[in-house]
Chains A and B, each alone.
Chain A
């Protein structure tokens, strides 16, 4: 009897959500489209950055340097300029991100064995892109220096670096971002489904009726949580399949470790969603509440920027964010092949967040009556 009641409520919740054709569509269609578009768009790697070259030097050495820039897939030379006054308009109008300025004495200084400066003028309006572009220029100059030294028989490199990257051998940034999108979209859909479930009934006035049925608050809670969990698991599975087949992201760890993570993550997402739902009186409030939770949760999760770079105080806040733990698990299982035991410290905080938010939601069901 106890479980039949819960089941009946869960079935009713499913029907309320999936009866509408548009609701069915938005749960499945847009997240997949988002994964495709964002998976390809969200990348820190720079390709074909427009560059202008201002080469006042006539020597062989400067031509060699320019051809190295030209040959790099990161840059595309779109203009050669010959006067100072041409420089500013190009950068102001965002036609080029950077200008490489080679002084007229570049070759002669280089041949004399003194340092030859090269100037790079960057558009700092997007500081992150500027910093990345600067890194690429630096690497090209470093390579150039090493081969110059070698050609002069000055073998400066008594010690050489042999660099390898683990887990993401070619350092592709979509290997980092796409598994993160799994967490992001799963959170978005689950949170909205559960946040609206109670608020919808409050708005329609049927929640009061539900409270006077023989259902106990804990049964209402479980009945409302089940659809969110099931939709979340299906959503996550769908996204993971697309991620592995379309984006060729490896799945190196065990599916068991991944699904335990998904289950606990959904538990905490459903808990937060129901808590928001229990506080809200209208669906509008529920969506805004879900939003007020979700945006900081994404920013603080380490989805786009590393947690280690945040100020200490903000780092403490991230421990309250279930997405933080889940992202370590998805990236761990897909890229690093992490085992269950290595991820243990990510599992239990999500379980605690889930249990705490669910109990609070259950308490709010009973103690918030309008």
Chain B
């Protein structure tokens, strides 16, 4: 009996694996999608602005305005364009040709020389608030550097009272690639575990082959294991593939231990698979399963996991929701294992959370699946 059960399970796994291998879209999700995502985020995306197109309006050129404009021209952050009246510069801002304006009025030099705090008008396009903040800070930095330089040129010394020394741990150059690439592994695994599994199992419900399987002597645990094992292997394959690209192509360091990475990935994979199964049981239709899987698992993994946006800054009711997103725990583990090392105070609680989640979702799957058999 035992060997019969064993044979049944092996047969089922074989059938599921053949189904995966036969459909190129499953392989595409496991191996093409990681490449597309990693390369897009590794090379394409950056929040570090350079060569910001900046309009400089000089209503009356002279030595003072020239020296200030020169400070902007020498900065690597700006590529300045010159205007002589504010109206044409504002038109250029409206047409998105420039992102900001620095406006020196005709009496700028006179006020400057009389020491009466000459105003410099600054206008930025605020639509992209994040970039607008960065642009403002670069303008402030350039302005302060020019003030010091200007004071020196007049024989005064202007020492900066407080200077800031910054030391960044774990990612010294603050390269966004180093933090985005590990987080992407969570997204790739969510795709395989939840979206692909939800679709495939929903198809079995849609076609009635799931009901057909239920009248066979296969036990509930065997049906579940037969579904889970091939996709688990596929998901872990996708994970290892992504790790290889991250380490060898993007040179993201892996400071933590490889085995810890494997254990936490396996746990996360189980949670993702359980959620995928649950979605397929609830929806029983491929369109609903696909849309639900994207909206319940993929988008939260992107937005609510701390992968892109800081969780601390979210309103508290949303912070509460993020505790329900398994990717949140896995992203924290990934970023720590890759960039910092085996920090137990981060890794252990998050692995614990993943363990609880996998138990919770599997018991839910167990119960829901059972009901259909009745």
CB within 8 Å of B: which residues of A?
17, 20, 22-23, 26-27, 30-31, 33-34, 37-38, 40-50, 65, 89, 91-94, 97, 110, 113-132, 134-135, 137-139, 141-142, 144-145, 148-149, 154-169, 171-173, 175-176, 188-189, 192, 196, 200, 280, 282-285, 287-289, 291-292, 295-296, 299-300, 304-306, 308-311, 314, 328, 331, 335-336, 338, 342
Q: With an 8 A cutoff between CB atoms, is B286 at the interface?
A: yes
Asked if B125 and A167 make an inter-chain contact with CB atoms under 8 angstroms apart, the answer reads: yes
User: Given the interface contacts A92-B343, A94-B346, A162-B121, does A289 sit within 8 Å of B312 by beta carbon?
Assistant: no
Q: How far is the CB of B126 from the nearest CB of chain A, in Å?
A: 3
User: Given the interface contacts A158-B150, A289-B25, A335-B127, does A142 sit within 8 Å of B140 by beta carbon?
Assistant: yes
Q: How far is the CA of A113 from the CA of B162 in the complex (A)?
A: 10
Q: How far is the CB of B122 from the nearest CB of chain A, in Å?
A: 4
Q: How far is the CB of A22 from the nearest CB of chain B, in Å?
A: 5
Asked if B318 and A305 make an inter-chain contact with CB atoms under 8 angstroms apart, the answer reads: no
Q: How far is the CA of A283 from the CA of B285 in the complex (A)?
A: 10
Q: How far is the CA of A34 from the CA of B325 in the complex (A)?
A: 14
Stretch at the interface among B170-178, B210-218, B219-227: B170-178
Q: Residues of B contacting A33 with CB < 8 Å?
A: 295
Asked if A122 and B112 make an inter-chain contact with CB atoms under 8 angstroms apart, the answer reads: no
7 closest A-B pairs by CB: A124-B171, A165-B126, A168-B126, A93-B345, A288-B25, A171-B129, A287-B290
CB < 8 Å neighbour of B117 from A22, A139, A160, A188:
A160
Write 13 A-B pairs (CB below 8 A) sorted by A numbering: A34-B299, A41-B303, A120-B167, A130-B174, A135-B134, A158-B147, A159-B120, A163-B122, A164-B121, A165-B129, A168-B132, A289-B25, A342-B94
Interface residues of B in 260-295 (CB under 8 A from A): 283, 285-288, 290-292, 294-295
User: Given the interface contacts A163-B122, A172-B129, does A110 sit within 8 Å of B32 by beta carbon?
Assistant: no
Q: With an 8 A cutoff between CB atoms, is B33 at the interface?
A: yes
Q: How far is the CB of B167 from the nearest CB of chain A, in Å?
A: 5
- Chain B: residues with Cβ within 8 Å of the partner, total of 115
Q: With an 8 A cutoff between CB atoms, is B82 at the interface?
A: no
Q: With an 8 A cutoff between CB atoms, is B3 at the interface?
A: no
Q: Residues of B contacting A22 with CB < 8 Å?
A: 283, 285, 288
Q: Residues of B contacting A49 with CB < 8 Å?
A: 310, 312-313
User: Who on chain A is nearest to B287 by CB?
Assistant: A196
Q: How far is the CA of A157 from the CA of B161 in the complex (A)?
A: 13
Stretch at the interface among B228-236, B334-342, B358-366: B334-342
CB < 8 Å neighbour of B195 from A94, A156, A161, A291:
A291
Q: With an 8 A cutoff between CB atoms, is B95 at the interface?
A: yes
Asked if A148 and B162 make an inter-chain contact with CB atoms under 8 angstroms apart, the answer reads: yes
Asked if B303 and A38 make an inter-chain contact with CB atoms under 8 angstroms apart, the answer reads: yes
Q: How far is the CA of A280 from the CA of B309 in the complex (A)?
A: 35
Q: How far is the CA of A138 from the CA of B137 in the complex (A)?
A: 9
Interface residues of B in 123-150 (CB under 8 A from A): 123-134, 136-137, 139-140, 143-144, 147, 150
Q: With an 8 A cutoff between CB atoms, is B36 at the interface?
A: yes
User: Given the interface contacts A122-B166, A161-B120, A296-B36, does A309 sit within 8 Å of B46 by beta carbon?
Assistant: yes
Asked if A159 and B200 make an inter-chain contact with CB atoms under 8 angstroms apart, the answer reads: no
Q: With an 8 A cutoff between CB atoms, is B179 at the interface?
A: yes
Asked if B314 and A48 make an inter-chain contact with CB atoms under 8 angstroms apart, the answer reads: no
Asked if A41 and B165 make an inter-chain contact with CB atoms under 8 angstroms apart, the answer reads: no
Given contacts A165-B129, A171-B129, 8 further A-B contacts (CB under 8 A): A22-B288, A30-B291, A115-B160, A125-B171, A131-B47, A160-B117, A163-B136, A336-B94
Asked if A299 and B303 make an inter-chain contact with CB atoms under 8 angstroms apart, the answer reads: no
Q: With an 8 A cutoff between CB atoms, is B374 at the interface?
A: no
Q: How far is the CB of A276 from the nearest CB of chain B, in Å?
A: 11
Asked if A121 and B167 make an inter-chain contact with CB atoms under 8 angstroms apart, the answer reads: yes
Q: How far is the CA of A163 from the CA of B101 in the complex (A)?
A: 10
User: Given the interface contacts A43-B309, A127-B178, does A31 sit within 8 Å of B33 by beta carbon?
Assistant: no
User: Given the interface contacts A125-B170, A134-B166, A309-B50, does A44 sit within 8 Å of B309 by beta carbon?
Assistant: yes
Q: With an 8 A cutoff between CB atoms, is B85 at the interface?
A: no
Q: How far is the CB of A370 from the nearest CB of chain B, in Å?
A: 14
Q: With an 8 A cutoff between CB atoms, is B8 at the interface?
A: no
Q: How far is the CB of A243 from the nearest CB of chain B, in Å?
A: 15
Q: How far is the CB of A62 from the nearest CB of chain B, in Å?
A: 10
Q: Residues of B contacting A299 with CB < 8 Å?
A: 40-41, 44-45
Q: With an 8 A cutoff between CB atoms, is B4 at the interface?
A: no
Asked if A115 and B49 make an inter-chain contact with CB atoms under 8 angstroms apart, the answer reads: no
User: Who on chain A is nearest to B143 by CB?
Assistant: A161
Q: How far is the CB of A293 from the nearest CB of chain B, in Å?
A: 10
Asked if B133 and A116 make an inter-chain contact with CB atoms under 8 angstroms apart, the answer reads: no
Q: How far is the CB of A109 from the nearest CB of chain B, in Å?
A: 9
Q: How far is the CB of A330 from the nearest CB of chain B, in Å?
A: 11
Q: Residues of A contacting B129 with CB < 8 Å?
A: 44-45, 165, 168, 171-173, 175-176
Asked if B46 and A120 make an inter-chain contact with CB atoms under 8 angstroms apart, the answer reads: no
Q: How far is the CA of A274 from the CA of B126 in the complex (A)?
A: 37
Asked if A176 and B44 make an inter-chain contact with CB atoms under 8 angstroms apart, the answer reads: no
Q: Residues of B contacting A137 with CB < 8 Å?
A: 164
Q: How far is the CA of A200 from the CA of B108 in the complex (A)?
A: 69
Asked if A160 and B286 make an inter-chain contact with CB atoms under 8 angstroms apart, the answer reads: no
Q: How far is the CB of B197 from the nearest CB of chain A, in Å?
A: 11
User: Who on chain B is nearest to A110 by CB?
Assistant: B161
Q: Residues of A contacting B122 with CB < 8 Å?
A: 161-164
Asked if A173 and B130 make an inter-chain contact with CB atoms under 8 angstroms apart, the answer reads: yes
Q: Residues of B contacting A282 with CB < 8 Å?
A: 23, 25, 203
Asked if A23 and B288 make an inter-chain contact with CB atoms under 8 angstroms apart, the answer reads: yes
Interface residues of B in 168-212 (CB under 8 A from A): 168-172, 174-176, 178-179, 191, 195-196, 199-200, 203
Q: How far is the CB of B290 from the nearest CB of chain A, in Å?
A: 4
Q: With an 8 A cutoff between CB atoms, is B247 at the interface?
A: no
Asked if A169 and B36 make an inter-chain contact with CB atoms under 8 angstroms apart, the answer reads: no
Q: How far is the CB of B293 from the nearest CB of chain A, in Å?
A: 9
Asked if A131 and B304 make an inter-chain contact with CB atoms under 8 angstroms apart, the answer reads: no
Asked if B131 and A47 make an inter-chain contact with CB atoms under 8 angstroms apart, the answer reads: no
Q: Residues of B contacting A296 with CB < 8 Å?
A: 36, 40
Q: With an 8 A cutoff between CB atoms, is B155 at the interface?
A: no
User: Who on chain A is nearest to B45 by CB?
Assistant: A305
Asked if A127 and B299 make an inter-chain contact with CB atoms under 8 angstroms apart, the answer reads: no
Asked if B166 and A159 make an inter-chain contact with CB atoms under 8 angstroms apart, the answer reads: no
Q: With an 8 A cutoff between CB atoms, is B48 at the interface?
A: yes
User: Who on chain A is nearest to B294 by CB?
Assistant: A188
Q: With an 8 A cutoff between CB atoms, is B159 at the interface?
A: yes
Q: How far is the CB of A16 from the nearest CB of chain B, in Å?
A: 10
User: Who on chain B is nearest to A62 by CB?
Assistant: B162
CB < 8 Å neighbour of B295 from A30, A115, A138:
A30
User: Given the interface contacts A23-B287, A309-B47, does A44 sit within 8 Å of B174 by beta carbon?
Assistant: no
User: Who on chain A is nearest to B289 by CB?
Assistant: A287
